[in-house]
Structures are given as structure tokens and as C-alpha cells.
Amino acid sequence: MKKYCNIITIALILAVSTLQACFIDDDSHIDNTPQENFDALWSIIDNHYCFFEYKKIDWDSVYNEYAPRIQDKMNNYDLFNLCGDMLDTLKDGHVNLASGFSTSYYWKWFQDYPVNYDERIIHDNYLHFDFFQTSGIIYKILTDNIGYIYYESFSNKVNPSSLDYVLSQLSLCDGLIIDIRNNGGGSLSNVETLVTRFIPERTLAGYIIHKTGDGHNDFSEPYPFYYSPAQGHILYGKPVVVLTNRHTYSAANNFVQIMRTLPQVTIIGDRTGGGGGLPFTYNLPNGWNIRLSASPILDAYGNDTEWGIEPDIKVDMSPQAQETGRDAILDCAIELLSNGGGK
Amino acid sequence: MMNKKLRTMLCTLLLIALPAIAIAETNDKEENTYRPLFTALEINLGEASWIETPLSYLTYKGFNASINLEMMRAVKGESRWVQQHQLRYSLSKGTIAVSGQGGSWAHFGNYTFGMMHYSTVAPKFRLYYGFDLNAIGGVINNSHKGNNPFTTKWDVSVGFTGMAVYDFQLGKLPITARYQMSLPIFGIFSQQPWGYMASGLFDGFQLGSWNNHFNMRNRLHVDLRFDSWALRLGYNNDIMTHYATDNRFQYVTHNFVIGFAGELMRWSKKNNKTNIKSALYLH
């Protein structure tokens, strides 16, 4: 009996040791060819992109249009350009294909709109090249006792203690202008750092939705997310104006999305560029990276802001005013705050 | 991916067959004796391949290096049980398997506690069988950055472990050859749905069984025993898989092993007269 049991034991050990083949998938069928890379790109977008329904895009027909143009011996540049053209059909600034030699961008989300920002006019005629600068923030008290902050990119880490210095310096002003024109976005943690200085209590910041499957409509329930006032730091409760243009995009768009719900905040300028989807990145077999909008971030009212946010007061910079060195959007903000602010 | 029916069938067969092993147990009596602590320190060098779909749909392949500390000791008394502790840190770095492009890192820390009973099949051949508790924590990073640059992995599981040990001599050199397999059956693990930035550190916890979670460890070693220490050479193979939250995670390593092993004993003349109850080596 003992002998048989030991034989069974040995046999079991050997049998189980072969089990791994049953549980490990073999990816060896994937090749690094133009067709495989194109198919991988199309499939990743098909499975993960979150705005197909919202933008009414028929992704299958896009495949049918572009796939026949793939050739076995096409070079990397041609393949890259073809893939980039296909991605443009998504009309999304968050969709980029990055290779070792180039990155594809969709430009039209701001290309057809007024620029509405001229750094030189502001530096010459409002800041007079005399301002403070910290944590990627330029700030100064303007002549009408209005505080001015220019934040170029949410990729620049906002140091909380530096922000204390900024708000402390501007605390005696009658109001504050936060200029995020040409701010192309960055990190949502910097959005939170900034927003939490303007909210008096825990505030619903918005909702995030995730893809839960490969289907175009496979979404989770919206998860609410909240911001709380920055404990132990300087808060600002006076009227605030946020300046936007079409190049206010992605995390900057999220900043506007939250700030505009606050009663003391007014949005002035042009419609933001949007970019309301949290982008994720994946690889193609050849090592190129594809970034795409994967998780919609909704505002506190449950609205999608992928196409941008309308300002409370729509103002464009006029060429005539620019010729005289004036920024019509900034002037509008100064006037509003000088008169007590408010929407 | 293996279908669930086949996994369930294999699992059932194994569960039915394993109790038969216990019948093979002998009732040999031993006097209470000195129980040295068997210790081995291994360096593992080899290759790893992994796929973590929240980060990338492609398999990454590269080198693996790990350091492994093993301790075993016979349990006090007349029983034929031994305890085993294994502590390991593993680092893998690789590129996309199909093109050698891109980059990814995997870090894992691992602790295993095992209890095994042994029976002597032949004078120099023993079989160990028992259970082990395995705890793993790790991070997988992908160089593409973005909002899904890494995922965290947690895995605590309980399963079977078995070991075959054979002692022989090469000339005058005593050698202990050993094959050990660990096979977790159920546990709890995390499979983050969308990567760390969107998921959070502890999101995606699941109850694990063979339909969504299959891990295995194979260890094949020979200890060349030089007096009070041994040179360990061998091969280690680790497999960790999770199938959950509409994602797939697979991590497989194959390593060459080199290390030192030995039984830590307080030196005393009495040791020469005392029976030594070793966890692994025959005396």
C-alpha cells in the first residue's frame, strides 16, 4: 500500500509541474509587422477609448477605410503617418501616438479658434517685467489692487508652502485673477492643490467613469470625488476670475470645471479646449506608445466636458486693443473685480 | 486562457488524490534530539516574462535576479514534521518580447511559511508533503508613464507543497538532491482594474481559486555537502497569474540558482553523542 501511495505522490508532483502550460497564454503569435502594429493600435483604441458614443464615431468603418492602405513593406514613417491620420478621426487632443522619431497630435481642437493670449502684452503693459515667480506661478498685484496669477502648466508642481506665500502676498487685494490661458494641462494633483485654497468646505469636484469591458458602452457607475479645504494653509475667499482660452486643456479644463461651481468665481475668456477624459497609455508591438482618453471625468452636475466649457463672460482679444497694448480679456476681469466681482 | 472547467477538474482530481499520500506515512519513533536550523542563502539569476494588461497588452521579457533565504527546522517531539520559512526579493527588468522596445520593471517581495510531514520511502529517499502560506507584494512599472505607469500586486494564498529528497554520493562527496513544488489552492489577491493612478493602492481585491488565480513554484536543487556547509546549485521556476477585473496578469521566471546552505548548530562535544534530527540532510 505504502509503495503505491508513494508512486501516486511522485506521479502527482510530476503531473502538477506540467500544469503551468494550462494557465500561461502564449503571445508568440504576435509579430512586429506593419499590419500587426496597425491592428494592435486599432484594437487598443477599440477596447479602451471612452468617447465613441459621445462623438458618434463608427470605429469599424474607420478600420475599413485605413486598413487597406497598410502594406507589408511600408517604412516606419509611412506607417506612423497613416496611424496618425486614423487617430485624427477621434478629434481628441489626448490621443497621441509616440514613436522614437515623432509624436502625432490632433491640433484642430484649438487651431481654428482665436489665440486670445499674448504673453508679451501682459509682461510689457501689466506686469512691466516686474513680478514674483515660484512653483511655475507668476504673480503680482496689478495697479487697481487686483491680484494676478499666471499658471502656465499643471505639469509644474505647485508647492503648498510657495502657494501660501503667493496667497499671503495677494490677500489684501480686492480680488484675484487666475490666468490659465495656454495652460495645456498636467497633473490632477496640482488641480487639487490649487482648488482646495478656494473652497470653504468639502466640495463635490466631479465624477469619474471607468471602462469595465471592451464594449464601447461598457462603463462603471460614476464615482464621485471630493476636495476638502487645504488644512493648515492660507485660503482665499474673495472674488476670483479665471481667464481661459481655447488652449486651456485637459487638467486646466478640469480646474475650470470645478472652479466654475464656486459662487465667488467667474470664468472669463473663450471656451476651453476640453480634454475631459483621463488619458491612459499602452504599447504597440514595435514599442510605440499610444495615449488615449480612457476614463471620462464629469463635472459636479454629471456633464461631460470633452468639447470644452463655455465661460460665464465670453470675451475675445480684439486686434485693435492689442495694437494699443491692451488685453481685452484681462481688462474685462480687472473691471469686474474692481466693481466688486461676482457672476 | 485555460477554460474554467478544465481547471476545476484538475483541482478536484488533486484534492481527491492527495489524502492518499498520508497513508504512506510511517510510524517510526524517534527520540527527542538536537534540531539544527537549516539555512540557505541563494542568488537566483535568469529570465522573466510578464504581462499586466492594465499597463500593456504585450508580453515583456528580460532578466530576473532575486535573493532567497530559506530556513527549515524539524518540529520538536517525535513527529516527522518540519517547518519551512522562505523570504525572497525579486527584480525583473525587460522589454517588449516581440520587438525589444519599451521597458518595464517588476519588483516582488515574497514570504512563505510551510509545514511538511515526511516519510522515508527508501533509505535515502524521503517524500515531504504539507501545506504552505504564501504572501507576495509587488509593483509592476511601465516606462510609458501616463496615468497608468504602474500597478501594485498583493497575493496571500494557502496551498499544498510537496518535496522529494534523495541523498547519494559522488565519490566521497555527499549530495542531497531535492525537488519541491508549491501549489496555492485558494487565497486573496489584488488585480487593479486600471492601474494605480486611477485605481488606488488596495483596489481590486478578489477571492482567488484556480478559476482566477494560479500560482506555482518549482525548485530543483542539489546541495554539494562539504563538511559543515554545502554549495547549492539548481533551478527555480515561479509562476503567478491573476485573471480578474477584465484583466490578465502573468509573471513567470526561470532562474539558475547558486547559493550556500548549512545547518546552524552550536558547537559542542555533546553533539557528537546526540542524535541530530535534521530537517533536510541525512546524518
Q: Do B20 and A8 count as a contact with CB atoms less than 8 A apart?
A: yes
Q: Do B56 and A283 count as a contact with CB atoms less than 8 A apart?
A: yes
DSSP string of A166-234, one letter each residue: HHHHHTTSSEEEEE-TT---B-HHHHHHHHTTS-SS-EEEEEE--B-SSSTT-BPPPEEEEE---TTS-
Does the pLDDT value for residue B7 go beyond 70?
no
pLDDT tens digits, B223-282: 999 978 899 999 999 999 999 888 899 999 999 999 999 887 655 666 565 677 888 887
CA dihedral A83, A89, A90, A94 (to 10 degrees): 60
Helix (H), strand (E) at residue B135: strand B125-142
The whole-model pTM stands at: 0.82
Does the pLDDT value for residue A78 go beyond 90?
yes
Percent of residues, chain A, with pLDDT higher than 90: 80
* A280 interaction partners in chain B (CB closer than 8 Å): 146-148, 194-195, 198
pLDDT tens digits, A40-63: 999 999 999 999 999 999 999 999
Indicate the residue of A9, A22, A210 with minimum beta-carbon distance to B2. A22
C-alpha A152: how far from its chain's center? 14
- The average pLDDT across B66-84 equals 90
Indicate the residue of B99, B181, B248 with minimum beta-carbon distance to A287. B99
pLDDT tens digits, A207-228: 999 888 889 999 989 999 999 9
Name every residue in A having a CB less than 8 A away from some CB of B.
Answer: 1-2, 5-6, 8-10, 12-13, 16-17, 19-20, 22-25, 27, 30-32, 40, 44, 208, 210-214, 278-283, 285-289, 291, 294-295
Does the pLDDT value for residue B29 go beyond 70?
no
Cα–Cα distance measured from residue A164 to residue A218, given in angstroms and rounded to the nearest whole number = 43
User: To the nearest whole number, what is the mean pLDDT of chain A?
Assistant: 91
Assign A2 a pLDDT band (cuts: 50, 70, 90). Answer: low
**Cα→Cα distances A234→A92, A132, A136, A168, B133, Å:** 37, 18, 18, 7, 50
Percent of residues, chain B, with pLDDT higher than 70: 82
The three cell numbers of residue B52 are 499586466
User: To the nearest whole number, what is the mean pLDDT of chain B?
Assistant: 84
How many interchain CB pairs under 8 A, A with B? 138
Query: Most B CBs within 10 Å: which of A2, A13, A23, A288, as the mutation test of the B interface?
Result: A23
- The average pLDDT across A185-197 equals 94
Does the pLDDT value for residue A3 go beyond 70?
no
Contact yes or no for A175/A146 (Cβ under 8 A): yes
Assign B1 a pLDDT band (cuts: 50, 70, 90). Answer: very low
Does the pLDDT value for residue B35 go beyond 70?
yes
* Closest residue by Cα to residue B30 from B274, B277, B281: B277
Contact yes or no for A113/A308 (Cβ under 8 A): no
Indicate the residue of B2, B127, B145 with minimum beta-carbon distance to A9. B127
Report ipTM (2 d.p.): 0.80
Residue for cell digits 470645478?
A258
Cα–Cα distance measured from residue B150 to residue B15, given in angstroms and rounded to the nearest whole number = 36
Query: Between A63 and A7, where is the model more confident?
Result: A63
* B20 interaction partners in chain A (CB closer than 8 Å): 5, 8-9
Q: What is the pLDDT of residue A220?
A: 87
Does the pLDDT value for residue B194 go beyond 80?
no
Contact yes or no for B208/B243 (Cβ under 8 A): no
- The average pLDDT across B179-187 equals 94
